[in-house]
Chains A and B, each alone.
Chain A
């Protein structure tokens, strides 16, 4: 069974600080996704990581993928209050002609002024 584990599950950080969210997955992944969800809202796609060593950045967020370690990270630089949300990673696994997409439990980020 494919498992995706995120940590931490809850993160409270001060504005201006840096932090990293970790996403470990148990089997070979074809793609790794990061999503953002605001309370009571839908999901917003942040990054799609396709290959080992992939790094993508958007504003204060940077995502990376290490397929050998089965690890993706989401790094937050100089956090601002607007980044407060829940962040999900998801791993895509292909096999037997179809795909299995498994989500982590999410990291609830609170950025405190």
Chain B
């Protein structure tokens, strides 16, 4: 049983396109996160939602828009993709203030 799942696993697209990445967790957690891992493996928080409300927004370009339809889902929509958006995007979830569990990642390549 997958605890935190992401789709798609791989995404290759052209510059300027709009794309979405989906995340779902079946752990009953009330907090979800998006992290970006760059080509040097450095991980940085992008967003956090708690019970469908935005809690953390870490100076991310407004081309990135998270959406949480319910507390089990946190999707990430990216407009006008740029070369520098190429990275691995990880979703995570946690009970409030507790250990975070990560999804398998979505590998985005912008050509």
Do A and B form a real pair? no
Interface residues in chain A, defined as those with a beta carbon under 8 Å from any beta carbon in chain B: none
